[in-house]
Amino acid sequence: MKLKEVTIFGATGLIGSSLLEILINDAGFDKVNVVTRSNFSFIHKKIDKHIIDFSNPQAISKIVKNSQIVFAAIGTTQSKVKGDIAIYHKIDYDDADMTIEGL
């Protein structure tokens, strides 16, 4: 079975960027939807970038509706949020939950 479209949330992080490399080099995928909170500079003919607010379930549903697989690699580090536990929790727990619930 040839897969056509896949979506990845969190493609700019450590795990997500490694997964993105694998997906764009896999002949089984024609399109890789990359969903982020902000723009990133990686360009490839298979990539379709989507910059959204992760708390918007309609935006999430619209992006993933044609994907056969959806990956969630959302997360952050304490240093990126400067030790703010509330922001850390929002990104690692609330945004990840919304992504899954939005499907």
Q: Are strands 47-51 and 5-9 parallel, antiparallel or unpaired?
A: unpaired
Concatenated DSSP letters of the chain: ----EEEEE-TTSHHHHHHHHHHHT-TT-SEEEEEESS------TTEEEEE--TT-HHHHHHHHTT-SEEEE-----TTTTTT-HHHHHIIIIIIHHHHHHT-
- What are the pLDDT tens digits along the chain (103 aa)? 567 999 999 898 888 999 999 999 999 999 999 998 888 888 999 999 999 887 888 999 999 999 999 998 876 666 665 666 676 566 555 555 444 444 4
Q: Which of 40, 45, 44, 30 is nearest to 10 (CA)?
A: 40
pTM recorded for the entire structure:
0.75
Report the CATH fold assignment for 5-101. Answer: Rossmann fold (3.40.50)
Domain ranges of the chain: 5-101
